[in-house]
Structure 1
Amino acid sequence: MNQISDTSYQHSNERTHKQVIVIRKDLKMRQGKSVAQGSHASMRAALCRGRVEGNELRIPLDADIGPWLLGRFTKVCVHVPDEAALLDIYNRAKEAGLPCALIQDAGLTEFKGVPTHTAVAVGPSLNEAVDRITGELPLL
């Protein structure tokens, strides 16, 4: 079995693929909480095409995830003002057929026990495709 090494990125100098992580600004999450929610979104979007076979997760290296996973895993973090804007980004990404994930926190440590949408990841996919959805959002 081939393994992904720490130097895999050296084989891809082009920055053609990326993932954008979108965080809700209105929640005023602690920094650690915000990072965790963005990480959940990133992982879910990247792994959602995988399938479990025995004790292994198999992820097809398709045109979206292959160059990203074997390249530099470029990620950009941006923010939206509220839940409506977060859901709009998620729905537009889904409609465009892009890999994406919406995270709903259970509310166990923040949000007073109320399940709350916190983050979305769009991609990995071609930069241009992701930018059509997230290109105007301000950096976090």
Structure 2
Amino acid sequence: MGASNFTQVISVGVVSFLTGYYVHQWLNSKSSRPRTRSSIRKVTSSSEESTEESFEEDSDDEGIDINSTSLNEIPGEVRMTLVVRQDLKMGKGKAAAQCSHATLALYKKITNPQSDAYNPDMVRRWEYGNGQAKITLQVPNEDEMDTLFAQAISLGVNAYVVHDAGRTQIAAGSATVLGLGPAPKLVLDQITSELKLY
């Protein structure tokens, strides 16, 4: 590996670490505030059949809209990645419902003309280029999920964390699935290449 490649790898690592650290600190400061019904858009799931309610909480992690238009120049397959937490021991149906919430939330972000995340070119590539490809991966715990979230933001990839309503298998407010994209596979692999399939 050349010196310039090594320097680039170190630079990306440092930037990712610092971004993750500061996003984590910011998210922790937000989550200590009391819950409200009007502060942000949040999807929650109340059962494995993916019943949705409009429970909203003052935690701005899901409200960050990223302008991903710079990724339009990157060639290749465009996909969405859904990262499922393993420490929660969700059933397959529960995990499927949570993944559905993440998919819909990301799609709403990227197709909303009033959102900073609006990117119709990326949507077209994802929808028509390879049939709305999605991949599900697993992450061991919430800390690792937070790190992936920060890496995605630092690379210009939209990210969304689904929190559960807590009516069935897991505690209310638990971060269950991290949705990433749609974005070029080349960029998503920089974030998730170490993860195993779910």
TM-score, normalised relative to structure 2: 0.56
Structure 1 residue 42: Cα displacement:
1.4
The partner residue of 1:23 within 64, 74, 84 is 84
Structure 1 residue 70: Cα displacement:
2.1
**Structure 1 match to 2:95:** 34
Deviation string 1:62-91 (CA, Å, 9 cap, x unpaired) is 2x2220022311111100001111111112
Higher strand proportion (structure 1 or 2): 1
The partner residue of 2:111 within 27, 50, 53 is 50
Say whether residues 1:61 and 2:120 are aligned partners. Answer: yes
Q: Size of the alignment, in residue pairs?
A: 120
Task: For 1:133 and 1:60, locate their aligned partners in 2 and report how far apart those are by CA, in whole Å.
Answer: 20
Task: For 1:77 and 1:68, locate their aligned partners in 2 and report how far apart those are by CA, in whole Å.
Answer: 16
The percentage of counterpart residues that share the same residue type is 29
Structure 1 residue 101: Cα displacement:
0.9
**SS of the counterpart of 2:196?**
coil
**SS of the counterpart of 2:120?**
coil
Paired AA for residue 129 in structure 1: V
Task: For 2:110 and 2:183, locate their aligned partners in 1 and report how far apart those are by CA, in whole Å.
Answer: 13
Structure 1 residue 15: Cα displacement:
6.0
**Structure 2 match to 1:120:** 178
**Structure 2 match to 1:102:** 161
1:55-94, aligned counterparts within 5 Å?
A: 61-62=120-121, 64-71=122-129, 72-94=131-153
Paired AA for residue 65 in structure 1: V
TM-score, normalised relative to structure 1: 0.77
Consecutive unaligned residues in structure 2, runs of 5 or more = 1-74
Task: For 2:193 and 2:108, locate their aligned partners in 1 and report how far apart those are by CA, in whole Å.
Answer: 23
**SS of the counterpart of 1:65?**
helix
The two structures, once aligned, show a CA RMSD in angstroms of: 2.0
Task: For 1:124 and 1:51, locate their aligned partners in 2 and report how far apart those are by CA, in whole Å.
Answer: 14
Q: Which has the higher contact order (CA 8 A, sep 6+)?
A: 1
